[in-house]
Copies of this chain bind each other. A is one copy, B any other.
Amino acid sequence: MDALNLPAPGDKARIVVVGGGFAGINFVDHLDTRNYQVVLLDRHNYHTFAPLLYQVATAGLEAPDICGPLRKSFRGKPDFHFRMLEVRGIAPEQQLIRTGAGPIHYDHLVIATGTRANFFGSQDIEAHALPLKTVPDARRLRNHIFQTLERLDMTNDPVERERLMTFVIVGGGPSGVELAGALSELRRHVLSRDYPDTSIEQLRFILVEGADQLLSGFSDKSSSDARRNLEDMDIELRFGALLAGYDGQTATLKDGTTIPTATVIWGAGVTGDIVEGLRQDSLERARYIVDDQLRVRGYENVHALGDVALLTNAQWPKGHPGVAQVAIQMGRRLAKNFNALAQGHAVKPFSYLDKGSLAIIGRNRAVADLPKNLHLNGFPAWFIWAFVHIFYLIGWRNRAFTFLSWVANYVTYNRAVRLVLEPSLEEELPEAEKLTTHP
């Protein structure tokens, strides 16, 4: 027995994979473990289907619907071992991963840690804005949204009401656009009936984007379609606008504009989730520089995949886009290369097949950039979006329950999961009330 209760790999090589995102699970899935022992490490015991986090945040889906338990996904795969822990660093000379539960030896290391929210050094934004990168983030955001509405329904103070009624979304990428659309539909179809004592139609959703268009990376047609759709849905769009600060009471933009708001949702920046310990010259802009065999610069037996890898070539001089398809295809390519090596076959360089880009805005509203310059919007794009997302979910149960939830939401215009599961009632109590609980 090795450390962490791991069986010794015997005469196989041990591959340690850090991160159970799209890249990590596709690597494990395609690796032939007759030739390798594989150890998957993650701080969560589940894979997160990140493209649907915004639906958990807006009460359309339940958190477990978009999570795949990692042990279950690879149940029955021989010599696969999962350990739930926090990776603290790499010691490449000794070929060790340092973790909270002790060191793990590797023969090959695959770093697939993805990204984390990047607040560009602003501590007050980090302290008060709500990111949407993880399942706990999504549930906190849902709690916050519905708790804010409950507070709104209990105050007559016009200044406080304006603050509670204003929601600021920072970032006009797919997650900002999808979240804004979902909030608009929530306002229109659900909240207006749930809060008869409050003028729900006065809720303001402000989307703040630094560039002059939405969905950078999409076609101009899709960008402008998304813009027209969000404007139709009464989302206030502010282009060329950057968030400079947020103290929990007032958001301040770079141009000095102030917006009193109880809610700032952060969908603007991410940075590679780097593990300490590799040489600094293997990194560029918080990504691991990899060659077309996905090897990290300067190391023979360390690989990086997905959003945390920086792979440049003639077609992608600034690196590949940080989307699920790149991560999935990198994970599969690397696994197949390992399998080929074990059988004495040649490895192949990674080559990205761009299957297109999709973003959903609302009921029957979406944009799709497909191969051969095909651009769709409206119902056809929405239908493709729904089909693709169901297809890529992990497990038949999640596919079935998500599909049924969407059918129910579509038919009833409802969102079932509008629960404040972890209310924080105390923090809002006036001091006087805290002191005098006896009347």
Contact = CB atoms under 8 A, between A and B. Distances in A.
Interface of A: 1, 3-7, 43-46, 62-65, 67, 69, 71-72, 75-76, 81, 83-86, 88-91, 94, 96, 98-102, 135-136, 139, 146-147, 150-151, 153-156, 193-195, 197-198, 276-277, 395, 397-398, 400-401, 404, 408, 414, 416-423, 425-426, 428-430, 433, 436-439
B437 A98 contact: yes
Given A5-B198, A71-B194, A401-B401, A423 B135 contact: no
A71 to B, nearest CB: 4
A439 B90 contact: yes
A154 B5 contact: yes
Q: How many copies does the complex hold?
A: 2
Nearest to A3: B156
A259 to B, nearest CB: 23
A98 B437 CA distance: 8
Nearest to A99: B433
A203 to B, nearest CB: 15
Contact of A426 (B3, B86, B395): B86
Contacts of A83: 150, 153-154
B420 A84 contact: yes
Nearest to A88: B437
A213 B88 CA distance: 50
Most buried by B among A1, A100, A193, A398: A100
Contact of A43 (B98, B400, B423): B423
B433 A88 contact: yes
A150 B5 contact: no
11 contacts: A43-B425, A45-B150, A62-B62, A72-B194, A86-B425, A86-B429, A90-B439, A101-B428, A102-B154, A136-B421, A397-B414
